[in-house]
């Protein structure tokens, strides 16, 4: 975030706060954003799943959008302008160069460009970061799950056809298992009885016939 240009910064915030695909964000127009109602709409015609999605606008995203809704003259951009377009609201095709530059700088590498393409060394450095814009979508869904959002709500925001897709996409089952274990530990319900007893009583001495190798309990 610290190395992103202003326009890329807004796009990254939107990716993390909405879980939208890059193409959905780039095609978003101001007429599809309701700042007062704090909701934006990804139209079916612009969505991969071909269904409208209504996504609440967080306080973080709201602050970013309020700063972006005015053009160079200080006047509000027209309703047909693109939210994540250039300074005049025209649509941009891809933030690829800005993204790659920011990622490389964030990882301590000064990007080198040859005819608008990364040099072989910079390309190798970028690949080693293993960070793509689409990862922001995955991060958004994971954050919602970790915050305790129901899986079906996360599914709706991500625009998945089935909960099974969301479950697989985010490893939701594993996340919930880890969260459950953390809650048990926080409540002090994990092995506390044994731990307390073992401090006050010596462990029993097994008879000689049990002194061999332990038997497997796996049936």
Co-location of 2 and 86 in the same domain: yes
Q: What confidence tens digit (pLDDT) does each residue in 129-172 have?
A: 999 999 999 999 999 988 889 989 999 999 998 988 888 888 86
What pLDDT is attached to residue 60? Answer: 96
Cβ atoms of 87 and 72 closer than 8 Å:
yes
Pairing state between β 117-118 and 39-42: unpaired
Co-location of 2 and 84 in the same domain: yes
- The average confidence (pLDDT) of the chain is 85
What pLDDT is attached to residue 198? Answer: 45
Cβ of 140: how many Cβ atoms within 10 Å?
21
Q: Which of 28, 63, 93 delimits the end of a domain?
A: 93
Tell whether pTM > 0.85.
no
Co-location of 190 and 138 in the same domain: yes
Co-location of 84 and 104 in the same domain: no
CA dihedral 144→145→146→147, nearest 10 degrees, is: 50
Q: Answer yes or no: is 218 within a domain.
A: no
Pairing state between β 117-118 and 53-56: unpaired
Tokens at residue 164, please? 């099974």
pLDDT range class, residue 193, cuts 50, 70, 90: very low
Co-location of 70 and 107 in the same domain: no
- Asked whether the predicted pLDDT for residue 206 surpasses 50, the reply is no
Cβ atoms of 84 and 12 closer than 8 Å:
no
**Average pLDDT, integer, range 200-204:** 50
Total number of residues shown for the chain:
219
pLDDT range class, residue 217, cuts 50, 70, 90: very low
For residues 175 and 101, the model is more confident at 101
- Asked whether the predicted pLDDT for residue 212 surpasses 70, the reply is no
What pLDDT is attached to residue 187? Answer: 73
Q: Answer yes or no: is 110 within a domain.
A: yes
Co-location of 124 and 190 in the same domain: no
Q: Answer yes or no: is 17 within a domain.
A: yes
- Asked whether the predicted pLDDT for residue 214 surpasses 90, the reply is no
What pLDDT is attached to residue 168? Answer: 84
Domain CATH number, residue 22: 1.10.443.10
Q: What confidence tens digit (pLDDT) does each residue in 10-61 have?
A: 999 999 999 999 999 999 999 999 999 999 999 999 888 788 999 999 999 9
Host domain of residue 121: 96-131
What pLDDT is attached to residue 216? Answer: 37
Q: Could you give the percent of the chain with pLDDT greater than 90? A: 63
- Asked whether the predicted pLDDT for residue 219 surpasses 50, the reply is no
Question: Which of these, 89, 122, 80, lies nearest to 7 by C-alpha position?
Answer: 89
CA distance 5 to 180: 40
Q: Answer yes or no: is 49 within a domain.
A: yes
What pLDDT is attached to residue 38? Answer: 97
Q: How far is CA 74 from CA 30, 88, 107, in A?
A: 16, 11, 35
CA dihedral 146→140→77→40, nearest 10 degrees, is: -60
Number of domains the chain is built from:
3
């Amino acid at each position: 975030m610290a190395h992103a240009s202003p326009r890329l910064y807004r796009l990254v915030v939107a990716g993390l706060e909405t879980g939208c695909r890059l193409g959905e964000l780039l095609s978003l127009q101001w007429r599809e954003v309701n700042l007062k109602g704090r909701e934006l709409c990804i139209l079916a015609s612009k969505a991969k799943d071909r269904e409208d999605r209504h996504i609440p606008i967080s306080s973080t995203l709201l602050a970013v959008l309020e700063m972006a809704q005015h053009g160079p003259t200080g006047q509000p951009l027209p309703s047909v302008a693109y939210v994540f377009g250039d300074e005049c609201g025209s649509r941009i095709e891809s933030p690829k160069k800005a993204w790659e530059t920011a990622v490389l700088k964030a990882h301590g590498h000064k990007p080198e460009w040859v005819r608008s393409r990364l040099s072989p060394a910079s390309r190798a450095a970028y690949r080693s970061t293993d960070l793509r814009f689409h990862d922001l979508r995955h991060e958004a869904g994971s954050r919602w799950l970790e915050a305790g959002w129901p899986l079906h709500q996360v599914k709706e925001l991500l625009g998945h056809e089935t909960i099974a897709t969301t479950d697989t996409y985010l490893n939701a089952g594993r996340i919930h298992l880890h969260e459950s274990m953390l809650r048990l530990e926080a409540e002090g319900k994990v092995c506390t009885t044994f731990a307390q007893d073992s401090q006050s009583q010596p462990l029993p001495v097994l008879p000689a016939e049990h002194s061999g190798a332990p038997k497997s309990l796996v049936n």
